[in-house]
Amino acid sequence: MKRQFLLTFAFAWVSAVVCAWGVPIAVAAQQAAGQQQQNAAPPQNANVPPGNAANGRKLFVSFGCYQCHGYEAQGGSAGPRLAPRPIAYAQLMKYVRHPTGEMPPFTEKTVKDAELTDIYAFLRGQPAAPDVDKIPLLKQ
Ligand code: HEC
């Protein structure tokens, strides 16, 4: 009788431990899987035409995008940062044609789709900003 009680008690204890540890472990595993999905390339950029980044840089200047967004598309007083991680390709193609804020519209007559694609390649190809602790001037 006493032995059976002990066995039941041991079983309950083991179940409690498994539940207490199993749930957080399962949650953490799920979060890690979700994180990996987020780190993968955004799906809407999967079919972006390659474009010519060097030509895109020239067009970014000749169409005057730089006046508001900066020569490196780093952002300026009149326009936000666009690079190195621009909005999705389809979104950019639409926005430049029909901006909803301060930005003037650029129609297909002024900037061809292929030219915008080159500009997109330029924006995507811009290097990421260096880590603050890798900038010698900021080290003392
Ligand atoms: C007169 C200033 C000006 C010029 C020139 C300009 N932009 Fe903009 N742009 C803006 C501003 C301001 C915004 C912020 C949203 C708004 O007010 O429309 C913006 C927003 C954008 C966005 C959306 C960014 C986001 O994160 O949603 C894109 C893309 C963009 N500009 C691309 C371009 C391209 C490409 C050109 C050149 C063909 C250009 N812009 C020329 C001022 C400008």
How confident is the model over 77-134, as pLDDT tens digits? Answer: 999 999 999 999 999 999 999 999 999 999 999 999 999 999 999 999 999 988 888 8
Q: What is the percent of the chain with per-residue pLDDT over 90, rounded to a whole number?
A: 55
Q: What is the spatial distance between Cα 32 and Cα 16, in angstroms, rounded to a whole number?
A: 25
The CA 96 to ligand 1 mean position distance, Å, reads 7
Burial zone of 140 (CB within 10 Å; 0-12 exposed, 13-18 middle, 19+ buried): exposed
Q: What is the spatial distance between Cα 26 and Cα 15, in angstroms, rounded to a whole number?
A: 16
- Three-class SS state of 76: coil
Of 103, 108, 109, best ligand 1 pocket probe by most atoms within 8 Å of the beta carbon: 103
Indicate which atom in ligand 1 lies nearest the CA of residue 100. Answer: 18
Rounded to 5 degrees, what angle do the CA atoms 28, 31, 36 make? 130
The CA 79 to ligand 1 mean position distance, Å, reads 6
pTM over 0.75? The answer is: no
**pLDDT tens per residue, range 26-62:** 555 555 555 544 455 455 566 889 999 999 999 999 9
Query: Which CATH code is given to the segment(s) 45-125?
Result: 1.10.760.10
Residue 35 in tokens: 């994180």
